[in-house]
Structure 1
Amino acid sequence: MSPQQPSLTERRKAATQLDIARAAAALFTERGPDGTTAEDIAHRAGVALRTFYRYFRSKQDAVGPLLSGGGERWRALLEAAEPGSPFAEVLERAVTDALAAPDASAVEQLTWTRGLLRAADGDPALRAVWYRVNQDSEERLLPVLARLAGRGADPLEVRLAAAAATAAVRVALEAWARTDAPATGPGSPAALAVRCLHELMGGTRLFKE
C-alpha cells in the first residue's frame, strides 16, 4: 500500500490520537494544563491510561496532532502545485487556503489552536510542543519547496524560504490567538500570515520570481 493510502490500522491509530488530542485541548481550556492530568485526558477521551501513554509521553504532547493539522494541510496544497509555477503566488495561495475557515470544522480547528496557544503562555512544556511542531513542519516543508523552486534554485534560499514561511504562519497564529478577531476577514490567521509572509520574504529572489 502506498504512503498516500494509510492502512486501516494507521487510520484507526490517527483517529485515536486525534480523539485524545481533542480531549486534552478541551481540558486545558477548561482547567489549564496544571489542573489537568493524563488520567483526566484518558478518561475524557474514553481510553485506558496505558493507551494514552502508548501514543504520548506527556499530557502536553497529547495536543500535538491538533497543532500539526494546519501544517499537514499546507504541505498537501504545496505538493499539489506544479513545479515552475510562480513561487510567491503558490506559497501565498497555499498559506491562505490552509488557514482559511470555510466551514464549521475549520473554524473549530482554529478555535482549538487559539485556546492551546493561550494556555501555552503559562506552560513552558506546552510551548515546547508548539515549537517542536513548527520545527518539524519546517523540516517537512523543505523538500516540498525545493521541488517547487526547481533544480537550479539556491539551496540556501530554499532553506530560508522554508524557515520564513513557517515563521510567518507561527507568528500569525500566535498574534491572532492573543486577540478576539474572527477566524475570517481582517485580523484572521490567513490575513496575518500573508502579511507576515510578505514582510519576511519580500527581499528574497524566490519571492520576486
Structure 2
Amino acid sequence: MATEAFTNLSAEKRQRILDKGVEIFTKYSYGEASTNQITKELGISKGSLFYYFGSKKDFYLYLLETSIQLLLPQDQSIAATDFYGIVFEALHRKLRLYEGGRKEHILFVSRGAKETHEEVKAEKDALIGRYFVQAQQGSQAVLKRAIDTLDIENPEKTERLLTGMSLYVDAIINRYLAFYRDDPGALFQNEALVRSEIKEYLDLLLYGVINDERH
C-alpha cells in the first residue's frame, strides 16, 4: 500500500501517478507491465516507485483498492418513496459511476477480476470479493426498501422476493456491463433501455404477489 512519502506528495502529482498507473494496468496484465515500463510512463525512478509503494505488487493492489472505492456509491440516501422510484433512482446513481473519469477505473477493475498472476492473485481475489459483497449488500438494501413499500399478500415470501429481484437486477446489469465493457460510458446513455428491461422482469416477478391489479 502507499507510504507516507506518497501521501505527502501534492494532490496533482498523486493523481497523475494513480491515473497513469490505472491506465497502464488496464492496457497490460500484471505480468506484462514491467517495472521499467511502469516507472518510465509514470515519469519517476524505480527508487521513487519503491519509496512510494514498497513494490510493484503493492502499487498494483493500491490502485485496485482505490479504483474499487471509487466505484462504490458513497451516498446511499434516496428521495423516492414508491417501489419503482426507489429502484430506478438507485439504478441511475449506479449508472452515473460509469460515465466520465471513472471509465478507466471500471475497465481496470474488470481486467483485475481476471488477473491470474500468482504474485497478486490471492490479495486481488480478496479485494474483488469484498467489492462484490459490498456492492451486493448495497443493492439488496435498496431492494428491501423498495419491497417495504409493497402490499405483500404473504409476508413470508418477502425474503424470496428480495432474492429473486436481486438475481434479476444483477443479471441484467451484468449483461449490459459485459456488452458495453469496451465503452462503459455508453451504458449510462442507454439507461432507458436498462430500466425498461428491469421493469419488465420485475413486473413478471411481482405478478400474483402484490395486491394490485395494475400490471
| TM-score above 0.5, yes or no | yes
Tell me the equivalent position of 2:115.
Answer: 123
Correspondence 1:31 to 2:28: yes
Q: CA deviation at 1:95?
A: 1.0
Tell me the equivalent position of 1:96.
Answer: 92
Match of 2:105 among 108, 112, 119: 112
User: How many residues get paired?
Assistant: 183
The structure with the largest alpha-carbon Rg is 2
Q: Give the 3-state SS of the residue equivalent to 2:204 in structure 1.
A: coil
Q: Unaligned regions of 5+ residues in structure 1, if any?
A: 1-11
Tell me the equivalent position of 1:79.
Answer: 77
* Cα distance in structure 2, aligned partners of 1:127 and 1:202: 38
- For 1:153-164, what aligned pairs fall within 5 Å after superposition? 154-164=158-168
Q: Contact between 2:147 and 2:162, CA under 8 Å: does it hold in 1? A: yes
- Over the aligned positions, Cα root-mean-square deviation in angstroms equals 4.7
Letter in 2 for 1:159: T
Q: Contact between 1:81 and 1:148, CA under 8 Å: does it hold in 2? A: no
Cα deviation 1:56-84 (Å, max 9, x = unaligned): 868257324324534415xx3x53235xx
Letter in 1 for 2:63: A
Letter in 2 for 1:69: L
Q: Unaligned regions of 5+ residues in structure 2, if any?
A: 1-6, 150-154
* Cα distance in structure 2, aligned partners of 1:195 and 1:38: 46
Correspondence 1:141 to 2:128: no
Distance 1:150 1:198, change over 3 A: closer
